[in-house]
Amino acid sequence: MYEKITPPTTGDRVTFVNGHPIVPDHPIIPFIRGDGTGIDLWPATQKVLDSAIAIAYGGKRQVSWFKVYAGDEACEQYGTYQYLPEDTLTAIREFGIAIKGPLTTPIGGGIRSLNVALRQIHDLYTCVRPCRYYVGTPSPHKTPEKLDVIIYRENTEDIYLGIEWRQGSEIGDKLIKFLNEELIPATPEHKNKQIPLDAGIGIKPISKTGSQRLVRRAILHALRLPPEKQQVTLVHKGNIMKYTEGAFRDWGYELATTEFRAECVTERESWILGNKEQNPDLTIAENARLIDPGYDSLTPEKQELISQEVQEVLDTIWESHGHGAWKTKIMVNDRIADSIFQQIQTRPDEYSILATMNLNGDYLSDAAAAIVGGLGMGPGANIGDTCAIFEATHGTAPKHAGLDRVNPGSLILSGVMMLEYMGWQEAADLVKKGVSGAIANKEVTYDLARLMEPPVPALKCSEFADAIIRHFGS
């Protein structure tokens, strides 16, 4: 089955049933060390994870690590340009759960992003990026502790699908000509728009299937959260891109109000129900006027549509969601993408789970990570229905490779996400306690040490891992 690697002789496969992992007590888990600083990050991470598992389960549970290759290290083993060998893809597919350090991504040409390729090959359609604050972590924000969000980013569609053509290419020119001369003139709403002849061009596909399976996972996650955090916000730019990002919003609401009708309420539905609870004698038109401040300036046809919306909500869910019952449901709302960038800074405690598309999610997850201490403390997971890969969210920082100085926090916390995904919560809690204790005690690597007031002596990467383990009992 494999050309250059051999799985461990002890341990078992992780299997999946209806998208959920069935994890044995001794799973075999492939790991990719990663490029650049991966040579420092992975040993520190493995030491922390193994220690937590040993303490939590006393030998009853244990991971058999399976070294596989990607990136520059793969080229050393498999030959030039063999950045993602079939051995690695087979191992991840076979054993179900994997973890990886950072991988090099050339800019402006060459190989496609290895991270994107892994997500697309294994259909890891959900990127999960929790952003929470660990007390003592330096942050440019006055109240970073108020931000505690989980970003659900669609991983396989949008412009990241990579269907694009270079400016001046034969196919690109042909497509522009076809759009300018055939499709755009045939679409009245586009009027006299034209694509510049010297443009590069890309395709932005957003599908109903891709959107709804992402939102489904976000809602299922919300069901596991404390009541005060049970909220899913659909983040989009649908005011401009109506048939892609606007459709994402609409399909998200559709899923919430059909498949999860008993568990969810939309923000507009909550307004309608709340208005009737405050004034049982409120007419349909009066309720419509309250949920849409511009109601009186609308045409009669649009006023009628809003009134019909109010009537339908009261007819269909008043019995199940009215009389205050909606307050116990998952709140599903939506926000424009540029607005949410402001609101996670100015009103961070109003949000919990943010579900969005690929490009928005890429920007938003890094921005949120900056608030709570940067990418060095930002974990990530890529999850599909038959496998999952957990990963550091930062770059390879090759100039620091082998110096034992970089922060392993991102990869360690990605390991925490992996343990939680496996159902090994006791071990995950130990690591989180250790990270919190080390940072609170100002035992940190140089990136955090230099920002503390006053600055503190920096630990090495390996020493930070040891500090985390020491604070398991904090």
- Terminal CA-CA length for the chain: 45
What local confidence, expressed as pLDDT, does residue 107 receive? 44
237 assigned to active site: yes
**Residue 338 annotated to the active site:** yes
Under 8 Å CB-to-CB from 401, ≥6 apart: which residues?
Answer: 36, 37, 38, 39, 40
Strands (E), 47-170: 64-68, 97-100, 126-132, 148-154, 164-165
Kindly name the residue from 78, 133, 134, 160 that is annotated as catalytic.
Answer: 160
pLDDT confidence of residue 162: 86
Tell me the β-bridge partners of 150.
130, 353
103: which 2 tokens? 């991988």
Residue 160 designated active-site: yes
Rounded distance, CA 56 to CA 332, Å?
Answer: 37
**CA 136 vs CA 26, 48, 437, 442, 460: distances in Å:** 35, 20, 9, 7, 18
Please identify which of the residues 362, 404, 447, 466 carries the catalytic annotation: 362
| 363 catalytic residue (yes or no) | no
**Low pLDDT (below 50) residues in the chain:** 106-109
Cβ atoms < 10 Å from Cβ of 307: 19
Catalytic residue among 237, 276, 329, 432: 237
- Among 177, 338, 349, 363, which one carries the catalytic annotation? 338
